[in-house]
């Protein structure tokens, strides 16, 4: 238990730097912004913890039509505030209620720390910074001058500070880690109180999952001789992914964040597995890579198989990263897709038809949500199983050596 708790804290520290890692892992990002292309949010923000309010508002532009793509992507991607819900005031204007999160920026060696509520959901600049993007566009912070114009570097690109902000995904990870530690401590306390007795309550659930991971995943994959050494990591991995996936299916705070649908998070988990696997690899593991047994000699001379095996060392963690990311993100998008169908039909046909379709959409959304609960478990199982398999291959010894 102590090893598991210690690793949870390490995992939290690794993933807390998500905002910077995203800059390198993002699949598609465009740095060539112009002043006309800077994306702004259409809604005014009223953060429930914000102390300041916008003194004067600019006249609002004509209300744009409902954008389903922006709505869906905006819910599955990261953000500098935790969106709660929207509401309409008496005049019919829509407002967004969100929990502000800490913004930590470094610009020209100067550190700036403030809450995201200072941006008023993208409608106000603060200390020479502006929050842009959101929805389909990547949300980020840029530098602006006193006149409100984006600062450009010598290459004509918009200047951006180093962003170490605690965004929605890192905040969700911290919450999940704390909850997991509480669950483990409660189970540990139950064992002390009910020593040599049958488990009860939360203790029963934790013990069932621990025994399952140990006897059905780690021991068969790694082997009787080495499995205990890697069991704390495997338990942490399984519990973190499973609990995070389940929390992502609950659509309200403190849950609802698409943590495992973020490449920075899945990449961090995959890199940890990659490092443990290759640092634990014995001489037989490396010899089999460069001198693969059972392969014709001409393939070894022409080093085709060694190259394939060496490439496989790096593709294994990539497969882990992409599989978890793609499956969880796809599930969220499908559920949100059924929901936005209601608004699309209401806007294009009529409210009556939209109300009729809503029954079907809600039924399918509930069905997919239940299916996603199963997927949440399967993805935790598969990621843990493959990690154990890779480690088991690295530490495995030939039978004649074991004898």
Q: Is residue 12 part of a domain?
A: no
Separation CA 236–CA 209 (nearest Å): 11
Q: List the one residue out of 142, 136, 169, 161 whose CA is nearest residue 28.
A: 136
Separation CA 334–CA 75 (nearest Å): 12
Q: Is residue 172 part of a domain?
A: no
What's the confidence (pLDDT) of residue 12?
A: 47
Separation CA 214–CA 56 (nearest Å): 61
Mark whether 117 and 205 lie in a shared domain: no
Separation CA 106–CA 86 (nearest Å): 32
Q: Is residue 134 part of a domain?
A: yes
Pairing of strands 129-134, 137-143: antiparallel
Which of 129, 150, 165 is the endpoint of a domain? 165
What's the confidence (pLDDT) of residue 318?
A: 94
Mark whether 154 and 51 lie in a shared domain: yes
* Whole-Å CA distances, 223 to 217, 226, 228, 271: 10, 6, 9, 22
Mark whether 220 and 343 lie in a shared domain: yes
148, exposed or middle or buried, with CB in 10 Å at 0-12, 13-18, 19+?
Answer: exposed
Q: Are 83 and 95 in contact (CB under 8 A)?
A: no
Contacts of 238 (CB under 8 A, 6+ apart): 209, 213, 217, 380, 381, 383, 384
Mark whether 161 and 273 lie in a shared domain: no
pTM of the full structure: 0.76
What's the domain range around 312?
188-402
Give how many domains the chain has, as a whole number. 2
What's the confidence (pLDDT) of residue 1?
A: 47
Q: Are 44 and 95 in contact (CB under 8 A)?
A: yes
Mark whether 150 and 222 lie in a shared domain: no
Provide the 3-class DSSP secondary structure of residue 317.
helix
399, exposed or middle or buried, with CB in 10 Å at 0-12, 13-18, 19+?
Answer: exposed
Pairing of strands 94-100, 102-107: unpaired
Q: List the one residue out of 105, 146, 145, 131 whose CA is nearest residue 43.
A: 131
Mark whether 247 and 314 lie in a shared domain: yes
Mark whether 195 and 122 lie in a shared domain: no
Mark whether 131 and 267 lie in a shared domain: no
Q: Are 166 and 16 in contact (CB under 8 A)?
A: yes
Q: What is the residue-level pLDDT of the chain in tens, covering all 403 positions?
A: 444 444 444 444 444 434 333 433 333 344 444 444 333 444 444 444 444 444 334 444 334 556 777 777 777 888 888 877 777 777 777 777 888 899 999 998 899 999 988 888 778 889 889 998 877 778 889 999 888 889 888 888 899 999 999 999 999 999 999 999 999 898 888 888 877 777 777 888 888 999 999 999 999 999 888 889 999 999 999 999 999 998 888 877 878 888 998 899 999 999 999 999 999 888 888 887 777 777 777 766 677 777 888 888 899 999 999 999 999 888 888 888 888 888 888 888 888 887 888 888 888 888 888 888 899 999 999 999 999 999 998 888 776 544 4
Q: Is residue 181 part of a domain?
A: no
Quote the DSSP letter at residue 218. I
Beta-strand (E) ranges in 21-109?
Answer: 44-45, 81-88, 94-100, 102-107
Q: Is residue 176 part of a domain?
A: no
Separation CA 316–CA 17 (nearest Å): 24
280, exposed or middle or buried, with CB in 10 Å at 0-12, 13-18, 19+?
Answer: middle
Q: Is residue 380 part of a domain?
A: yes
What's the confidence (pLDDT) of residue 21?
A: 37
* Whole-Å CA distances, 299 to 95, 283, 312: 65, 21, 16
CB neighbourhood size of 275 (10 A) = 11
**DSSP secondary structure, 221-244, as one string:** HH-TTTHHHHHHHHHHHHHHHHHH
Q: Is residue 24 part of a domain?
A: yes
Contacts of 349 (CB under 8 A, 6+ apart): none
Mark whether 360 and 316 lie in a shared domain: yes
What's the confidence (pLDDT) of residue 253?
A: 82
Q: Is residue 5 part of a domain?
A: no
What's the confidence (pLDDT) of residue 256?
A: 80
Length of the chain: 403
Mark whether 259 and 334 lie in a shared domain: yes
CB neighbourhood size of 58 (10 A) = 7
Separation CA 242–CA 173 (nearest Å): 13
Separation CA 145–CA 128 (nearest Å): 6
Mark whether 160 and 192 lie in a shared domain: no
Q: Which residue has the tokens 């199983």?
A: 385
What's the confidence (pLDDT) of residue 249?
A: 85
Mark whether 251 and 145 lie in a shared domain: no
């Amino acid at each position: 238990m102590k090893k598991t708790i210690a690793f949870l804290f390490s995992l939290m520290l690794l993933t807390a730097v998500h905002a910077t890692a995203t800059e390198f892992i993002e699949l598609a990002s465009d740095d060539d912004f112009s002043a006309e292309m800077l994306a702004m949010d259409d809604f005014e923000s009223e953060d429930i913890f914000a102390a300041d309010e916008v003194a004067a508002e600019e006249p609002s532009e004509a209300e744009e039509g409902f954008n389903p793509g922006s709505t869906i992507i905006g819910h599955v991607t990261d953000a500098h505030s935790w969106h709660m819900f929207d509401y309409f005031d008496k005049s019919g204007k829509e407002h967004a209620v969100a929990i502000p999160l800490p913004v930590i920026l470094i610009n020209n060696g100067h550190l700036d720390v403030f809450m995201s509520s200072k941006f008023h959901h993208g409608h106000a600049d603060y200390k020479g910074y502006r929050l842009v993007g959101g929805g389909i566009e990547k949300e980020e912070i840029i530098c602006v001058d006193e006149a409100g114009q984006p600062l450009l570097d010598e290459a004509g690109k918009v200047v951006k500070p180093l962003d170490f902000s605690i965004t929605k995904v890192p905040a969700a990870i911290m919450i999940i880690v704390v909850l997991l530690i509480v669950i483990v401590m409660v189970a540990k306390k139950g064992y002390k109180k009910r020593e040599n007795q049958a488990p009860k309550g939360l203790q029963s659930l934790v013990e069932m999952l621990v025994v399952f991971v140990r006897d059905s995943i780690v021991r068969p994959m790694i082997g009787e001789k080495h499995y205990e050494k890697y069991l704390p990591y495997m338990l942490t991995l399984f519990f973190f992914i499973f609990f995070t996936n389940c929390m992502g299916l609950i659509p309200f705070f403190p849950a609802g964040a698409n943590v495992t649908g973020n490449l920075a998070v899945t990449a961090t988990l995959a890199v940890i597995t990659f490092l443990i696997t290759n640092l634990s690899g014995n001489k037989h593991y490396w010899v089999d890579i460069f001198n693969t047994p059972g392969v014709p000699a001409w393939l070894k001379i022409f080093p085709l198989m060694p190259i394939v095996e060496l490439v496989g060392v790096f593709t294994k963690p990539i497969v882990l990263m992409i599989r978890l990311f793609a499956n969880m993100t796809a599930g969220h998008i499908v559920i949100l897709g059924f929901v936005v169908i209601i608004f699309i039909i209401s806007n294009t046909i009529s409210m009556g038809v939209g109300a009729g379709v809503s029954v079907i959409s809600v039924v399918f959304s509930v069905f997919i949500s239940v299916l996603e609960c199963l997927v949440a478990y399967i993805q935790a199982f598969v990621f843990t199983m493959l990690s154990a398999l890779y480690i088991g291959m690295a530490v495995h010894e030939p039978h004649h050596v074991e004898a």
